[in-house]
Amino acid sequence: MTDNIHTPNSPREGRILVVDDELSIRKAIRIALLQAGYEVGEAVDGQEAITALGDGDNPLMVDAILCDIRMPRINGIDAIYFFRTHYPSIPVIVLTGYPDCDLAVTLMKMGVRDYLVKPVTKQDLLRVLKCAVDNHRLFKGQFVA
- Spell out the per-residue pLDDT of the chain, length 145, in tens: 333 444 444 447 899 999 999 999 999 999 999 999 999 999 999 999 999 898 655 556 899 999 999 999 899 999 999 999 999 999 999 999 989 999 999 999 999 999 999 999 999 999 999 999 998 878 666 554 5
The answer as to whether 138 is a domain residue is: no
- DSSP codes of every residue in 41-90: EEESSHHHHHHHHT-TTSPPP-SEEEE-SS-SSS-HHHHHHHHHHH-TTS
d(CA 92, CA 114): 7
CATH number of 48's domain: 3.40.50.2300
Total tally of structural domains belonging to the chain: 1
Domain hosting residue 94, numbered range: 14-98+111-117
The answer as to whether 90 is a domain residue is: yes
The answer as to whether 25 is a domain residue is: yes
The answer as to whether 42 is a domain residue is: yes
Q: In sequence order, what are the residues at sequence separation of 6 or more whose Cβ sits closer than 8 angstroms to the Cβ of residue 140? A: 89
Q: Given its phi and psi angles, is residue 112 left (phi above 0), alpha (psi -120 to 50 degrees) or beta?
A: beta
The answer as to whether 69 is a domain residue is: yes
- pTM score, whole prediction: 0.86
State the distance between the two ends of the chain, measured CA to CA, in whole angstroms: 22
The answer as to whether 135 is a domain residue is: no
Number of H helices, E strands in the chain: 5, 5
d(CA 100, CA 38): 29
The answer as to whether 125 is a domain residue is: no
The answer as to whether 29 is a domain residue is: yes
